[in-house]
Amino acid sequence: MALVASSVAAVLALLALQLPAAAAVAADGCDRTCGDVSVPYPFGITGSAPSCYWQGFNLTCEDDDTSGGKRLLLGDGSLQVKDISVANATVRVLHTGDIKIDHEGYGRAFDAGLKDHGPYTLSGGNELVVVGCNVYATLLEKNNDNIIGGCASFCPNDMRDLQTTRDDVAGNVVFRWLGPTDGGRSDAGLPRRVFVAEEGWFHRNAAANLTSTAGAVVPVLLHWVVVEEDHAPVAGELNCTDEAKRRVCKSSNSECKMRGRGYTCSCQMGYSGNPYVPDDQDGCKDIDECKLRPEQINCWGDCTNTNGRFRCRCPKGTKGSPDDPKGCVKDNTLEGLAIGLGVGSSAVLVVLILILFYMVTRFKHQRARKHKKKFFEQNRGQLLQQLVSQRADIAERMIITLEELEKATNNFDKSREIGDGGHGTVYKGILSDLHVVAIKKPKFMVQKEIDEFINEVAILSQVNHRNVVKLYGCCLETEVPLLVYEFVSNGTLYDHLHARSLSWNDRLRIAIETAKSLAYLHFAVPIPIIHRDIKSVNILLDDTLTAKVADFGASRYIPTEKSGITTMVQGTIGYMDPMYFYTSRLTDKSDVYSFGVILVELLTRRKVFSSRGDSLVADFVTLLAEGKLSQILDPRVIEEGGKEVEEVATLAVACVKLKGEDRPTMRQVELTLESLQTSRDPVLVSPVVESFEKFDRAMNFPSTNDGRNIDDSTNRQDSLEEEFMLSTEYPR
Determine the residue type at 716.
R
What letter would DSSP give residue 128? Answer: E
Distance of alpha carbon 147 from alpha carbon 656, whole angstroms: 50
Q: Where on the phi/psi map is residue 11: left (φ > 0), alpha (ψ -120 to 50), or beta?
A: beta
> Could you give the C-alpha distances from 35 to 57, 88, 217, in angstroms and in order?
18, 22, 19
Distance of alpha carbon 709 from alpha carbon 670, whole angstroms: 13
Phi, psi of 408 (to 5 degrees): -65, -30
Q: Which residues contact 547 (CB under 8 A, 6 or more apart)?
A: 467, 493, 510, 513, 514, 517, 539, 540, 541
**CB of 551 closer than 8 Å to CB of 557:** no
The number of C-alpha atoms within 13 Å of 403 and in the hemisphere containing its C-beta is 0
**CB of 22 closer than 8 Å to CB of 226:** no
Q: Does residue 415 sit in helix, strand or coil?
A: helix
Distance of alpha carbon 244 from alpha carbon 313, whole angstroms: 40
**CB of 250 closer than 8 Å to CB of 27:** no
Distance of alpha carbon 105 from alpha carbon 126, whole angstroms: 22
533 is catalytic: yes
Catalytic pick among 98, 279, 533, 634: 533
3-state SS track over 647-691: HHHHHHHHHCCCCHHHCCCHHHHHHHHHHHHHCCCCCCCCCCCCC
H and E: helices and strands count for the chain: 20, 35
Q: Does residue 439 sit in helix, strand or coil?
A: strand
Cα–Cα nearest to 585, from 608, 562, 552: 562
Burial of 319 (0-12, 13-18, 19+ CB in 10 A): middle
Catalytic positions = 533
